[in-house]
Structure 1
């Protein structure tokens, strides 16, 4: 069985171990990042929606950085939103703060009924630098 090359962001390994999943896996020159939510250090949801979206991106960026990557390396994005009809505009006004310049990654947006107390989740696939890809 192949060993998974797990990437943990600083100071959050216990949270992932408690919930039994990996924040990100390096494989074949790509980084597959689990869905990131606007959770505080203890895993609790940030109650304010705009702050929750910013915190989700901050948590995502911490994982990307730990893998030697950045949002500029992201090629595919999936976002999940509870009640997107009423929350999309609020969420999407925050996104450009983190998204970067065109060309943008591909995007799939999914409306859901429940995200374990959160309103927004983002998961991505990023390409690793040639150097990172060679280390696998």
Structure 2
């Protein structure tokens, strides 16, 4: 018997079905969120970097909300950037708009060469608010 519950944000099911993965899974009191990019409703990238990062966070927040969580429940963050040496300061400035206060989640930043046409991706693990402990 599987102890996994798939979480779908409103209006995004077709995108996830097309690409054959779950946007998020709740398991054992944790929410595991697939990498979120700044994709428009049709799946295309938002062209401007700051707007793309904001849209990635909006997509992330839609999943957190659909699961009954918020960014304050996030315990671990991984971000992927195409050109971190050039883009980090701009990305980090936008990310701080969503980050919230201490205690902050753990963070791993990774520079990559390809993100399916995107410049930024964020994936998180959150502890579900109703989880014991």
TM band (smaller chain): over 0.9
Structure 2: state its 5+ residue gaps.
Answer: none
Q: Could you tell me which residue of structure 2 aligns to residue 48 of structure 1?
A: 48
Tell me the distance in 2 between the aligned counterparts of 1:86 and 1:57.
Answer: 20
Q: Write the mapping of 1:1-136 to structure 2, written as runs, cut at 5 A.
A: 1-2=1-2, 4-130=4-130, 133=131
Structure 1: state its 5+ residue gaps.
Answer: none
Give CA-to-partner distance per residue, 1:28-47, whole Å, 9 cap, x none: 00000000000000000000
Tell me the distance in 2 between the aligned counterparts of 1:113 and 1:80.
Answer: 10
Give CA-to-partner distance per residue, 1:50-97, whole Å, 9 cap, x none: 000000000000000000000000000000000100110110110111
Tell me the distance in 2 between the aligned counterparts of 1:11 and 1:115.
Answer: 22
When the two structures are superposed, what TM-score results if normalisation uses the length of structure 1?
Answer: 0.94
Tell me the distance in 2 between the aligned counterparts of 1:12 and 1:106.
Answer: 27
- The two structures, once aligned, show a CA RMSD in angstroms of 1.1
When the two structures are superposed, what TM-score results if normalisation uses the length of structure 2?
Answer: 0.96
Tell me the distance in 1 between the aligned counterparts of 2:107 and 2:90.
Answer: 18
Moved over 4 A (4+): none
Name the CA shift for 1:3/1:18 in 2 (closer, same or farther; >3 Å).
farther
Tell me how many residue pairs correspond in the alignment.
Answer: 132
